[in-house]
A and B are shown apart, each in its own frame.
Chain A
Amino acid sequence: MFATVFFEHIILEVPRTRIYRRLGYRRGVTEITDKRAAEVEKYISEALNLIRLRGTGRRLPLQDKNEAQIVLGGGTGDEVLQSRRLSRFFGECQEAVLMGATAGHEIMAAIAEDTDGGHLTRGVVLDATASEMVDAALDWIMSYFARVLRRERKALTEKRFSAGYGDFQLENQQTMFRLLELERIEVQITETFLLVPEKSVTALAGVKGFD
């Protein structure tokens, strides 16, 4: 029923605290010189120049559900996602929001160049920045859908669920990839169900409320 929404440029506050935490920074414990701090900030800034956050999102009705799987309707046909934990996660939800985001190819090329070419320090900062930016992009997409749903007296679950987590096998990434039309934001999927560029993620959230 609802078409896929494409977000060509997601603009968000840089999640600095999360980036530093991912790099192992602990407030009050980690000691960092001015020079090193400036260098890390410079690498974060360079990462931001290379990251292009794009995303897609889609609402699909929950056609059926039992304790082992959920069935999404509204696509080209019913889509079965097998996972007991996912089924429990959806609880009383009547609808699902699927979402995907990517940091793009340019940042991945830079990370590869740094890690292969002897500037691993920059590489790890670029890597952490890209990871957290993509995660923040999913938060942003959830905010968008939460706002749209609120006008329908509905709400989005606070958490989201991704393929590869618990018993929700990574193979399901193929279904997510197709339903989210990720090719349109230049994301590919490998035979082992990994998304390329590497800093690309998908997730599901549930919709609850007025019925």
Chain B
Amino acid sequence: MAAKNSIKGLSKKGIVLLDGAIGTELQKGGMPAGVCPEAWCLENPAVLQDIYRTYKKAGSHIVYAATFGANRCKLSQYGLKDVRTINRDLAMLAKNAVGKGCFVAGDIGPTGRFVAPFGDLPFEEAVEIFKEQIAGLLEGGVDLMVIETMLDIQEARAALLAVKETCDLFTLVTMTYEKDGRTLNGTDPVTALITLQSLGADAVGCNCSSGPEAMLGMVEAMKPYATVPLAAKPNAGMPRMEGGDTVFDMDAAAFGGWGKRLAAAGANLLGGCCGTTPAHIGALKAGVADAPSLPPCRTALSAVSSARGHRIFERGNPLQIVGERLNPTGKKALQQELLEGKMTLVRQLAREQEEMGVALLDVNVGVPGLDEVKAIGEVINLLAVTTGVPLMVDSSRAETIEAALRCYPGRALINSISGEKEKLARLLPLAAKYGAMFILLPLADGELPLTAERRREIVKDIYQKARTYGFTKEDIIVDGLVMTVASDPRAALETLKTVDWCANKFHCRTLLGLSNVSFGMPERQWVNAAFLAMGQVLGLNLAIANPGSAEMMNIKAAGDLLLQKDRDAAAYLARFSRFEVPGAKLPPPVAASPGDRVSQAIMEGNREDIAALVEEALAAGRSARALVDEFMTPAIVRVGDLFDKKVYFLPQLIAAAEVMKLGLSFLEPQLSAGSGIAAPKGTVILATVMGDIHDIGKNIVALMLRNHGYQVVDLGKNVPVETVVAAMKEHRPHVVGLSALMTTTMVKMQKVIELAAREGLQCPFLVGGAVVTGAYAASIGAAYARDGVEAVRVVDALIQAGERRESEK
């Protein structure tokens, strides 16, 4: 605790200097490539200790023990098992080297495995792996812990929880971000900050991957939301390869020059990562000599996060909608899926609500007979990778909430904590441990308060108890307690009074579960929407609702606009603007004649209307045959031309072909009955050859050929050579088309051609597929087409050539 206070005090006095790179310094000291750095340090302690002393002399207040890779997973790659001893000895080595006046941090790096749900390492196993390392570091006497170079927020959480469940040392967590400012899994710095500071990190920041310039932007982004000191440990510029080695270009003077700017942006702890040396730290010290250490801008932050996003509940923000549909109450399909352990519907409901613009997703797995603890873990893990929308964990059971909070890779919102004594005693410590926000539900034991006055008393009472766990008003959201007006006409007004008091007197955030208000009433959507608008005026922050309700979402958008919570009306205009895609154009004007409209439907791929349009054309006196010959076939030929010119792309070509097919199938009875049916232009056998299972291209060719009047015998995929030849004997085709995607299967085309020749079958072959070329086709005596449109032309040409040959005989 003394060290913790000292370190906290240090960061208040001025910029705390960390060390620079250790690995490259060890290499300069003779460490060869390919060895275990931790083992080499223990075998060559003088080299490491000299590095520490040099960093201390350069100005480092804190040096990192050489334990970055000293976890079970990494050490086992070198056949080393004694994790505890290695960590202890390396920590002691550092302590002995720097003596007094410099702190030693236990350095905890990634395991090299991804933690669930992103990887195969179970979360609890990850926590245990880190605890094993931490035990050794504590024995070695480290003064603080540093969790660094984390690529994955879930692994950072596992390490931080391991520290918090083991000791009370000051803990700094730094993540590594890609060029796009996010981790590989998509976590941005502010999201990571919200997750880690709420979970108990004493300082948060970034290290490695980029130089100080890129890190400046990250620090600037985090500072307004930080409740803890911020750290930056950049590389000496961006790495580049030179003569087979990775080099960093930024010299010490230039690096040191960034110190002042990083401090001005709000960094409180500064050091160096890859490519930095004691000289860089010395320059950094000089650079920040007169730079003040800016304290955190706030002591608490009303915000939640997921692995890939966050929501900050600031006053003046637009109303936020919490999607209510991931709740099995009254939803049989969802209940059944959860009971069967299926997740398709959960994923679908999450994605749909995200697309509808919800700010949070309420998640409830309360189904009778379901193992809730197991189910919530599975659902949370699925949602963590499915959506970037933060979650509201909704359960009446403490064990369910705990299971969710432990595995959720973000800062969750608990729904809810009421004044019931037993639950309060169980849930407040849980919320505090995991740093969750919670919805304060103004209920007391055996009491459903009907008046706003009584609700206020309960809110104050719960909040008083929450404060003893360190909660502030920023951490709670009061539920106004929505009751139905059908049974109590005063209900809505009492709820609105509660919202008013919370928002404008008590100064905390508020939430309403909207739909209860209209229970038992007809046309409920209007009651809900009006209630929402009234809440908006009073300062309501969140509403649990169905985002699929257009009335409600439209009222929300209008309310935000009217209350000046929608800057430049951007959200309102976006909501009511037409869907726009770059390059998208208005459809052409509606064609004049019924036949033209059929043609237009094919050109546009209008699947929905083709049957009605064909019927209309027939009713107008067109014969089926004439419709096909004069309108439909020219339309599909035109589509092929446009595809060739790339004016149409594949979905347009296929949609048109499918509409043509639908139209033809609709006309088939008339064509047959009226002897308007034309004889097929020819018969074509199609097959994807033996060993190949990729047949989408062959299916496209089949569709195109049928639309152009060919009879197609489709043998499918993975078709043996003998089967193709047998089909040739049976159907006597005009052309055989073969497809293959792989070089290994392509050779089967030649086998088919050879066997057919041996059997005396005379027939042209057409081949195609991703790896097939015109030259290869020629080499095996076949014609070639690169796509479905060309295949029709080639088949036309092959048949015409055959007919010419016949006529010349």
- B-binding residues in A (CB < 8 A): 1-3, 5-9, 11-12, 20, 23-41, 43, 45, 48-49, 92, 111, 115-116, 118-121, 123-125, 127-128, 140, 143-144, 147-148, 150-155, 164, 169-171, 184, 190-194, 196, 198, 208-211
Our pick among B580, B583, B651 for the contact of A124 (Cβ within 8 Å) is B651
B-side binding surface: helix, strand, loop or mixed?
Answer: loop
Q: Which B616-674 residues have C-beta < 8 A from chain A?
A: 643, 645-652, 654-655, 657-658, 661
- Determine whether the beta carbon of B581 is less than 8 Å from that of A38: yes
- Interface stretch among B196-204, B252-260, B742-750, B793-801? B742-750
Q: What residues of A have a CB within 8 angstroms of the CB of B78 in the complex?
A: 1
Complex: A92 Cα to B241 Cα, angstroms:
13
- The verdict on A208 contacting B742 (CB below 8 Å), with A29-B647, A34-B585 known, is no
- Determine whether the beta carbon of B587 is less than 8 Å from that of A151: no
- Determine whether the beta carbon of B696 is less than 8 Å from that of A164: no
- Determine whether the beta carbon of B116 is less than 8 Å from that of A120: no
Tell me, rounded to whole Å, the shortest Cβ–Cβ distance linking A46 to chain B.
Answer: 10
Q: Which B183-198 residues have C-beta < 8 A from chain A?
A: 184-186
Complex: A153 Cα to B151 Cα, angstroms:
18
Our pick among B650, B651, B658 for the contact of A118 (Cβ within 8 Å) is B658
Q: What residues of B have a CB within 8 angstroms of the CB of A48 in the complex?
A: 351
- Determine whether the beta carbon of A143 is less than 8 Å from that of B651: no
Tell me, rounded to whole Å, the shortest Cβ–Cβ distance linking B357 to chain A.
Answer: 15
Q: What residues of A have a CB within 8 angstroms of the CB of B58 in the complex?
A: none
Q: What residues of A have a CB within 8 angstroms of the CB of B184 in the complex?
A: 140, 143-144, 147
**Chain B: CB-nearest residue to A91:** B244
- The verdict on A7 contacting B114 (CB below 8 Å), with A34-B578, A38-B579 known, is yes
- Determine whether the beta carbon of A151 is less than 8 Å from that of B355: no
- Interface stretch among B6-14, B117-125, B758-766? B117-125
Q: Chain B CB within 10 Å — which of A9, A191, A196 has the most?
A: A9
- The verdict on A190 contacting B691 (CB below 8 Å), with A34-B586, A120-B703, A124-B696 known, is yes
**Chain B: CB-nearest residue to A170:** B744
- Determine whether the beta carbon of B244 is less than 8 Å from that of A125: no
**Chain A: CB-nearest residue to B308:** A11
CB pairs A–B below 8 angstroms (17 shown): A28-B583, A29-B645, A30-B583, A33-B585, A39-B655, A43-B651, A118-B661, A119-B658, A121-B605, A121-B654, A124-B650, A143-B184, A150-B208, A150-B239, A151-B274, A153-B27, A153-B245
A30-B583, A49-B351, A121-B654 provided; 6 other pairs, C-beta below 8 A?
Answer: A8-B116, A24-B643, A27-B582, A32-B581, A38-B579, A115-B695
Our pick among B113, B176, B348, B582 for the contact of A147 (Cβ within 8 Å) is B176
Our pick among B116, B579, B605, B700 for the contact of A34 (Cβ within 8 Å) is B579
Interface string of B481-512 (1 = CB under 8 A from A): 00000000000000000000000000000000
Q: What residues of A have a CB within 8 angstroms of the CB of B570 in the complex?
A: none
- The verdict on A8 contacting B117 (CB below 8 Å), with A120-B699, A121-B605, A147-B184 known, is yes
Q: What residues of B have a CB within 8 angstroms of the CB of A208 in the complex?
A: 241, 244
- Determine whether the beta carbon of B246 is less than 8 Å from that of A209: yes
- Determine whether the beta carbon of A148 is less than 8 Å from that of B112: yes
Q: What residues of A have a CB within 8 angstroms of the CB of B473 in the complex?
A: none
- Determine whether the beta carbon of A115 is less than 8 Å from that of B696: yes
Complex: A27 Cα to B582 Cα, angstroms:
9
Q: Chain B CB within 10 Å — which of A36, A191, A211 has the most?
A: A36
Q: What residues of A have a CB within 8 angstroms of the CB of B116 in the complex?
A: 8
Tell me, rounded to whole Å, the shortest Cβ–Cβ distance linking A111 to chain B.
Answer: 7
Complex: A43 Cα to B700 Cα, angstroms:
18
Complex: A11 Cα to B183 Cα, angstroms:
11
B584 an interface residue at 8 Å Cβ cutoff? yes
Our pick among B178, B646, B690, B700 for the contact of A143 (Cβ within 8 Å) is B178
Q: What residues of A have a CB within 8 angstroms of the CB of B691 in the complex?
A: 190-192, 194
Q: What residues of B have a CB within 8 angstroms of the CB of A31 in the complex?
A: 583, 585, 647-648
**Chain A: CB-nearest residue to B247:** A153
Q: What residues of B have a CB within 8 angstroms of the CB of A150 in the complex?
A: 208-209, 239, 246, 274
Tell me, rounded to whole Å, the shortest Cβ–Cβ distance linking A196 to chain B.
Answer: 7
Q: What residues of B have a CB within 8 angstroms of the CB of A123 in the complex?
A: 696, 699
- Determine whether the beta carbon of B650 is less than 8 Å from that of A23: yes
B296 an interface residue at 8 Å Cβ cutoff? no
Q: What residues of A have a CB within 8 angstroms of the CB of B661 in the complex?
A: 118
Complex: A194 Cα to B185 Cα, angstroms:
29
Q: Chain B CB within 10 Å — which of A29, A119, A147, A191 has the most?
A: A147
Complex: A164 Cα to B673 Cα, angstroms:
52
Q: Chain B CB within 10 Å — which of A8, A125, A128, A198 has the most?
A: A8
Q: What residues of B have a CB within 8 angstroms of the CB of A143 in the complex?
A: 178, 184
Q: What residues of A have a CB within 8 angstroms of the CB of B178 in the complex?
A: 143, 147
Q: What residues of B have a CB within 8 angstroms of the CB of A2 in the complex?
A: 77, 112
Complex: A8 Cα to B661 Cα, angstroms:
41
- Determine whether the beta carbon of B77 is less than 8 Å from that of A1: yes
Complex: A196 Cα to B742 Cα, angstroms:
14
Q: Chain A CB within 10 Å — which of B239, B347, B355, B693 has the most?
A: B693
B23 an interface residue at 8 Å Cβ cutoff? yes
Tell me, rounded to whole Å, the shortest Cβ–Cβ distance linking B708 to chain A.
Answer: 16
Tell me, rounded to whole Å, the shortest Cβ–Cβ distance linking B101 to chain A.
Answer: 29
Q: Which B298-353 residues have C-beta < 8 A from chain A?
A: 307-308, 347-348, 351
Complex: A208 Cα to B347 Cα, angstroms:
41
**Chain B: CB-nearest residue to A184:** B120
Complex: A26 Cα to B244 Cα, angstroms:
39
Our pick among A9, A40, A196 for the contact of B385 (Cβ within 8 Å) is A9
Our pick among A36, A37, A153, A169 for the contact of B24 (Cβ within 8 Å) is A153
Complex: A148 Cα to B347 Cα, angstroms:
32
Complex: A140 Cα to B690 Cα, angstroms:
33
- Determine whether the beta carbon of A115 is less than 8 Å from that of B699: yes
Q: What residues of A have a CB within 8 angstroms of the CB of B745 in the complex?
A: 192, 194
B574 an interface residue at 8 Å Cβ cutoff? no
- Determine whether the beta carbon of B347 is less than 8 Å from that of A49: yes
- Determine whether the beta carbon of B208 is less than 8 Å from that of A198: no
- Determine whether the beta carbon of A8 is less than 8 Å from that of B149: no
- Determine whether the beta carbon of B744 is less than 8 Å from that of A127: no
- Determine whether the beta carbon of B654 is less than 8 Å from that of A124: yes
Our pick among A5, A32, A43, A49 for the contact of B348 (Cβ within 8 Å) is A49
Tell me, rounded to whole Å, the shortest Cβ–Cβ distance linking A179 to chain B.
Answer: 16
B694 an interface residue at 8 Å Cβ cutoff? yes
Q: What residues of A have a CB within 8 angstroms of the CB of B648 in the complex?
A: 24, 30-31
B251 an interface residue at 8 Å Cβ cutoff? no
Q: What residues of A have a CB within 8 angstroms of the CB of B378 in the complex?
A: none
Our pick among A8, A43, A191 for the contact of B118 (Cβ within 8 Å) is A8
Complex: A111 Cα to B604 Cα, angstroms:
23
- Determine whether the beta carbon of A209 is less than 8 Å from that of B244: yes
- Determine whether the beta carbon of B583 is less than 8 Å from that of A7: no
Q: What residues of B have a CB within 8 angstroms of the CB of A37 in the complex?
A: 579, 581, 583-584
Our pick among A9, A33, A128, A169 for the contact of B604 (Cβ within 8 Å) is A33
Q: What residues of B have a CB within 8 angstroms of the CB of A193 in the complex?
A: 744
**Chain B: CB-nearest residue to A92:** B244
Complex: A60 Cα to B703 Cα, angstroms:
47
B692 an interface residue at 8 Å Cβ cutoff? yes
**Chain B: CB-nearest residue to A118:** B658
Q: What residues of A have a CB within 8 angstroms of the CB of B657 in the complex?
A: 120
B33 an interface residue at 8 Å Cβ cutoff? yes
Q: What residues of A have a CB within 8 angstroms of the CB of B693 in the complex?
A: 190, 194, 196, 198
Q: What residues of A have a CB within 8 angstroms of the CB of B699 in the complex?
A: 115-116, 120, 123
Q: What residues of A have a CB within 8 angstroms of the CB of B176 in the complex?
A: 147
Tell me, rounded to whole Å, the shortest Cβ–Cβ distance linking A35 to chain B.
Answer: 6
Complex: A192 Cα to B745 Cα, angstroms:
8
- The verdict on A35 contacting B604 (CB below 8 Å), with A7-B118, A45-B355, A147-B176 known, is yes
Q: What residues of B have a CB within 8 angstroms of the CB of A153 in the complex?
A: 23-24, 27, 245-246, 274
- Determine whether the beta carbon of B246 is less than 8 Å from that of A155: yes
Tell me, rounded to whole Å, the shortest Cβ–Cβ distance linking A157 to chain B.
Answer: 10
Our pick among B348, B582, B651 for the contact of A40 (Cβ within 8 Å) is B651
Q: What residues of A have a CB within 8 angstroms of the CB of B690 in the complex?
A: 192
Interface string of B561-604 (1 = CB under 8 A from A): 00000000000000000111111111100000000000000001
